[in-house]
Amino acid sequence: MKYLIGRLKYEADFFSASELDASNCLVSFFWRDKQTLDDYVLFGDLVVFDTMYRMNKYDMICASFVRMNHHSKNVMFCCGFLMNEKIGSFVWLFKAFLKSMGRKHPITVMID
């Protein structure tokens, strides 16, 4: 969290959000930087939402928003980590995503 807060302090176009539970423990966090925002402006009509379940030492769900660019290379728009698969967690994540992208909705979202 110190890393994300530091980037927020020194990068005007950096976005970060986090969610704490009733015990003040971190349950979700999300970020995107200027490059990923620029990529979203260019290629954000289609977003592929992918969750790599429980792939880190904290047993959190890694959720990424990606797409291919005009060079057939994957570009990541942003990334978040969630503690659980509850509907509320995904609602929070998608709201953070939309807020970070200036409320610009993609035309299509592909979900596996």
Place of tokens 């057939």: 72
Helix, strand, or coil (residue 79) = strand
pLDDT score, position 64: 93
d(CA 16, CA 66): 17
Residue 82: name the closest of 106, 57, 53, 111 by CA: 53
Structure-token pair, residue 23: 């015990």
Q: What is the chain's pLDDT, residue by residue, as a tens digit (112 residues)?
A: 788 888 888 888 999 999 999 999 889 999 999 999 999 999 999 999 999 776 667 788 999 999 988 899 999 999 999 998 899 999 999 999 999 999 999 999 999 7
Cβ–Cβ < 8 Å for 95, 102: no
Q: What is the pTM of this model?
A: 0.87
